[in-house]
């Protein structure tokens, strides 16, 4: 039996495994159903052991098993219980093909990570980060928007347009289906040196869902990536990124994430992605269609301000900017011009986080 196409537009291999999920199948089985998020196996059809959203070895490395993370609604959950449905088979395969390789590089230190990416291995990191982003948002199906039980039981995930995650799902599955990937199906990926300033934690995760941009700090290195921009976010942000002259503090990493997100949302023409399946030759290719020339549209600085507020959260209350009042800081944020990366002369700020003296209100 050869490869075949199902009525919903998915493709199966000769053993019936799903090679390509149509958008409908992806949304119904994986986003709305609770099938294995990699192979799409129905719950109960084979052994499941579920997959940590933040990989096991990262939890061990940064002693996070008993720590909690705080969701957008204020709920806290232990990292050890932060899991999405996954079958044993896919879980083992991911461990072997992805987690072992990435952990070896990360455990060799920040320079090894940057060398690995510079040596043309960004695909591995891109897939790995894409898996974490996808799992994070699939998990949001389980969490209420309102913690107050008297309020409707709507979940954070109910707000998502699941189809927007279809492209990431296609890319992260390349280790299962052996798809060939065109170079433009990748997004942007930057690895920056990070330092513990403003936070004692060595681990940090943040994302901006609408801009498909995420940040992952692993000790001395922070990875910032955008998934659906065909590299446009990095290209747009480059003039600012080139002026970064040292390790980034926690708050600076979040501003860099905003720069990626802002540029992605400002692209004049969005790349479009699709999967080509050649039933005759049994090949699968991920393709991107984008304009020949990189071009930004009009820059909406109010949007940058909104992204900054989302990325910085309550850190904004603790911001001190040299010579500026709290009101001036607020206005600079809303105008989208606020920066903790560069001073008024455009020079990189080495010490971006000056803790407020104790017992002094932030405002
Ligand atoms: Zn599976």
Per-residue three-class SS string for 173-232:
CHHHHCCEECHHHCCEEEEEEECCCCCCCCEEEEEEHHHCEEEEEECCEEEEEECCCCCH
Q: Specify the higher pLDDT residue, 183 or 12.
A: 12
Measured in Å, residue 37 CA sits from the centre of ligand 1 at 7
Q: Is pLDDT at 256 greater than 90 in this prediction?
A: yes
- Band the pLDDT of 156: cuts 50, 70, 90: confident
Average the pLDDT over 327-354 and give the result: 86
Measured in Å, residue 285 CA sits from the centre of ligand 1 at 21
> How many Cα neighbours within 13 Å face the side chain of 179?
27
Q: Is pLDDT at 202 greater than 70 in this prediction?
A: yes
**Sign of CA pseudo-dihedral 88, 94, 95, 96:** positive
Measured in Å, residue 176 CA sits from the centre of ligand 1 at 10
Measured in Å, residue 158 CA sits from the centre of ligand 1 at 24
List the single range of 160-169, 191-200, 225-234, 341-350 with lowest mean pLDDT. 191-200
Q: Nearest CA to 211 among 222, 226, 230, 224?
A: 226
| pLDDT reported for residue 363 | 40
Average the pLDDT over 33-46 and give the result: 94
Q: Is pLDDT at 92 greater than 60 in this prediction?
A: yes
Measured in Å, residue 84 CA sits from the centre of ligand 1 at 11
Q: Is pLDDT at 359 greater than 90 in this prediction?
A: no
Q: Specify the higher pLDDT residue, 207 or 74.
A: 207
Percent of the chain with pLDDT over 90: 66
- Band the pLDDT of 360: cuts 50, 70, 90: very low
| pLDDT reported for residue 9 | 95
Q: Specify the higher pLDDT residue, 145 or 275.
A: 275
Measured in Å, residue 41 CA sits from the centre of ligand 1 at 6
Measured in Å, residue 112 CA sits from the centre of ligand 1 at 31
| pLDDT reported for residue 353 | 60
| pLDDT reported for residue 41 | 95
Average the pLDDT over 8-23 and give the result: 95
| pLDDT reported for residue 328 | 86
Percent of the chain with pLDDT over 70: 95
- Band the pLDDT of 325: cuts 50, 70, 90: confident
Domain boundaries, the chain: 1-186+273-292
Measured in Å, residue 312 CA sits from the centre of ligand 1 at 36
Measured in Å, residue 35 CA sits from the centre of ligand 1 at 8
- pLDDT tens digits, one per residue of 225-253: 999 999 999 999 999 999 999 999 999 99
List the single range of 145-149, 197-201, 256-260, 330-334 with lowest mean pLDDT. 197-201
> How many Cα neighbours within 13 Å face the side chain of 74?
4
Measured in Å, residue 205 CA sits from the centre of ligand 1 at 25
Measured in Å, residue 141 CA sits from the centre of ligand 1 at 19
| pLDDT reported for residue 358 | 45
| pLDDT reported for residue 48 | 95
Average the pLDDT over 186-203 and give the result: 86
- Band the pLDDT of 362: cuts 50, 70, 90: very low
Burial class of residue 141 in the structure, from the number of CB atoms within 10 Å of its CB (0-12 exposed, 13-18 middle, 19+ buried) = middle
**Sign of CA pseudo-dihedral 258, 262, 264, 265:** positive
């Amino acid at each position: 039996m050869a490869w075949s196409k199902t009525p919903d537009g998915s493709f199966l291999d000769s053993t019936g495994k799903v090679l390509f999920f149509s958008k409908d199948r992806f949304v119904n089985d994986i986003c709305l159903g609770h099938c294995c998020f990699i192979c799409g196996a129905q719950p109960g059809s084979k052994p499941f052991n579920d997959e940590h959203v933040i990989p096991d070895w990262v939890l061990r490395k940064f002693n996070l098993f008993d720590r909690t993370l705080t969701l957008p609604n204020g709920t806290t959950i232990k990292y050890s219980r932060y899991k999405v449905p996954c079958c044993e088979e896919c879980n083992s395969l991911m461990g072997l093909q992805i987690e072992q390789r990435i952990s070896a590089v990360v455990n060799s230190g920040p320079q090894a990570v940057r060398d690995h990416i510079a040596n043309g291995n960004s695909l591995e990191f891109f897939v790995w980060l894409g898996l974490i982003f996808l799992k994070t948002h699939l998990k949001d199906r389980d969490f209420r928007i309102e913690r107050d039980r008297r309020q409707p039981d709507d979940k954070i995930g109910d707000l998502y347009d699941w189809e927007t995650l279809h492209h990431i799902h296609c890319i992260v599955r390349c280790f299962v289906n052996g798809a060939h990937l065109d170079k433009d199906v990748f997004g942007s990926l930057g690895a920056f040196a990070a330092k513990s300033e403003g936070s004692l934690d060595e681990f940090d995760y943040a994302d901006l869902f609408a801009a498909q941009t995420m940040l992952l700090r692993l000790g001395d290195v922070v990875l910032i990536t955008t998934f659906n921009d065909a590299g446009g976010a990095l290209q747009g942000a480059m003039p600012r990124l080139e002026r970064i002259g040292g390790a980034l503090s926690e708050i600076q990493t979040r501003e860099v994430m905003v720069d990626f997100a802002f540029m992605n949302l400002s692209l004049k023409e969005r790349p479009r992605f699709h999967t080509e399946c050649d039933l005759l030759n049994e090949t699968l290719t991920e393709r991107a269609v984008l304009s020949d020339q990189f071009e930004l549209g009009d820059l909406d600085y109010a949007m940058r301000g909104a992204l900054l507020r989302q990325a910085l959260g309550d850190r904004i209350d603790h911001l001190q900017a040299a010579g500026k009042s709290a009101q001036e800081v607020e206005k600079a944020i809303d105008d989208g011009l606020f920066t903790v990366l560069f001073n008024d002369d455009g020079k990189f700020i080495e010490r971006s986080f000056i803790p407020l003296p104790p017992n002094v209100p932030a405002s």
